[in-house]
Amino acid sequence: MMRTPRHSIAALLISLALILLTACTSPFASIQPTQDATAIHIAYGDTWEHIKSQGKMLVGISTDTRPFAFYTNQFQVDGFDVAILRDIGQNLGVNVEFHDFSSDGLAFALQSGQIDAAIMRVTTSTLSIVNLSNTFYFGDDAVLVADGSPFNAINTVNDLVNLRVGVTQGSIYQYWLARMLPAENVAAFTQSKDAIAELKTQTVDVALFDLATAQALVNQGGVHLIGQGLYRQQLAVATGSGSQNLLSRFNNALDKMQREGRINQLAHQYLAIDPTAILPLPAATIKPDTPGALITASVPVTGCITGLAVLQNVTLDDQFLSNVPVVQPGENLTKTWRVRNRGTCPWYLPYRLVYLYGNAPDARMNGLPVLIDREIKPGQSGFLSLHLTAPEKPGIYGGVWQMIDGRSMPFGERMHVVISVTATTP
């Protein structure tokens, strides 16, 4: 049997079939469209009771935040946040189902009831829009220079732009700086002592470590601290409203994990921080069991909010990465999702579905952007389809796709295509 030549796929490109359905309300959230600079209020039931009835907890992650969350070469989710949330689920006796979002989309996904939980940094912004567990991890950074260096103060990441920065290989700071600075400006070393040696010979201008490690290096002499707090990590588990029972259970699970040393173990595994150098937790800033400490899900907004929920993998269903579809090399494929506009903004041209990244160079599978060619109002649902071509080489291929608006800003739940290309038999 002859396969369709690849060049004929270009005639098909990417098709979009959005079939409008009647708007409906989820079992535990109600969203009313608004166009005014008012507040969106999300009405919930008891989130913990809903989780128990379903036997699973829906968790939001952002897989472009290595080492906190990422896809492995086999296109399985992994990372510090992923491991923490899996352990919490195990402590609560429920399965954990991961849903991938842009970082900016996690808060609204919590508010709208699209997910039950996510790990977020504790900031003034997050405190105002979601409910947070007690802090379970605190990490601070420090910038070192050699004694006699001409540099005397680093106050923001912008101060590093024209400098060569040394970091420890595999550390949280290497991944962070890789997103902030040109690749040639970041030098990764196997051990901190190697970075210090290069610092003293001025091969690198500054070095960035976790605070406890930096303080120990200063005590050894020859270097001193000129900056701190560029990438502070105070992490907590976030939920939406109606989550008092859930927050209490999160805190109990996290307390158990702290006492057993599990969180420090995972910080060492994923963040490359020596367990003896992990900073003690600061005095609790959030006490979910204290009256008045819970934040309501009323969020001042200007205009409206974009959102997207994936309702179903219609074709090539990988069952949340647990049963990857097997296809033939070079096979023509159609990936279809049923999705819903879960925000308060309509979708319209030039909103589009675009490819973000994958676990291999061929993970895009010749897919091209999909344009939204008609208005899709809040609450309406329909189908998105990609026409793809399986790679020729056997292996696991996974690609991540994201909806973006007219300003190219990402929003909503990400979509992935993952297949296993089988080896051909002679």
Minimum mean pLDDT range among 67-81, 120-134, 210-224, 388-402:
120-134
Which residue ranges form the domains of the chain, and what is each CATH number?
Answer: 6-24+305-421 (2.60.40.10), 39-136+233-300 (3.40.190.10), 141-228 (3.40.190.10)
The pLDDT of residue 50 is 86
User: For residue range 174-213, what is the model confidence (pLDDT) as tens digits?
Assistant: 888 988 999 999 999 988 889 999 999 999 999 999 888 8
Model confidence at 10: pLDDT above 60: no
pLDDT tens digits for range 202-254: 999 999 998 888 988 999 999 999 999 999 889 999 998 767 789 999 999 99
- Residue 349 φ/ψ, nearest 5 degrees: -55, 130
User: Bigger pLDDT: 75 or 38?
Assistant: 75
- Structure tokens that stand for 126 in this block: 């997050």
Residue 37, pLDDT score: 30
Q: What is the pLDDT of residues 257-270, one digit of tens each?
A: 999 999 999 999 99
Whether 5 shows a pLDDT value over 60: the answer reads: no
* 6 has pLDDT over 50: no
What does the pLDDT read at residue 139? 87
Confirm whether pTM is higher than 0.75: yes
Span 376-397, average pLDDT: 95
- pLDDT of 125 over the 90 cut: no
For 15-29, 87-101, 102-116, 402-416, which range has the lowest pLDDT when averaged over its residues? 15-29
- Cα–Cα distance for residue pair 385/263, rounded to 1 Å: 41
Residue 293: per-residue pLDDT: 31
Q: Among 126-135, 175-184, 281-290, 345-354, which is the least confidently predicted range?
A: 281-290
Per-residue pLDDT tens over the stretch 137-150: 988 899 999 999 99
The reported pLDDT for the residue numbered 191 is: 86
What is the per-residue pLDDT across 319-337, written as a single tens digit (0 to 9) for each? 988 899 999 999 999 999 9
> Mapped to the 3 state alphabet, what secondary structure does the chain carry?
CCCCCHHHHHHHCCCEECCCCCCCCCCCCCCCCCCCCCEEECCCCCHHHHHHHHCEEEEEECCCECCCEEECCCCCEECHHHHHHHHHHHHHCCEEEEEEECHHHHHHHHHCCCCCEEEEECCHHHHHHCEECCCCEEECEEEEEECCCCCCCCCCHHHHCCCCEEEECCCHHHHHHHHHCCHHHEEEECCHHHHHHHHHCCCCCEEEEEHHHHHHHHHHCCEEEEEECCCCEEEEEEECCCCHHHHHHHHHHHHHHHHCCHHHHHHHHHHCCCHHHCCCCCCCCCCCCCCCCCCCCEEECCCCCCCEEEEEECCCCCCCCCCCCEECCCCEEEEEEEEEECCCCCECCCCEEEEEEECCCCCCCCCCCEECCCCECCCCEEEEEEEEECCCCCEEEEEEEEEECCCCCEEEEEEEEEEEECCCCC
pLDDT beyond 60 at 3: no
pLDDT per residue over 44-57, tens digit each?
Answer: 457 888 899 999 99
Given a cut of 80, whether residue 96 has pLDDT beyond it is yes
Q: What integer pLDDT is reported at residue 349 of this predicted model? A: 86
Query: Please, which pLDDT band fits residue 283 given cuts at 50, 70 and 90?
Result: low
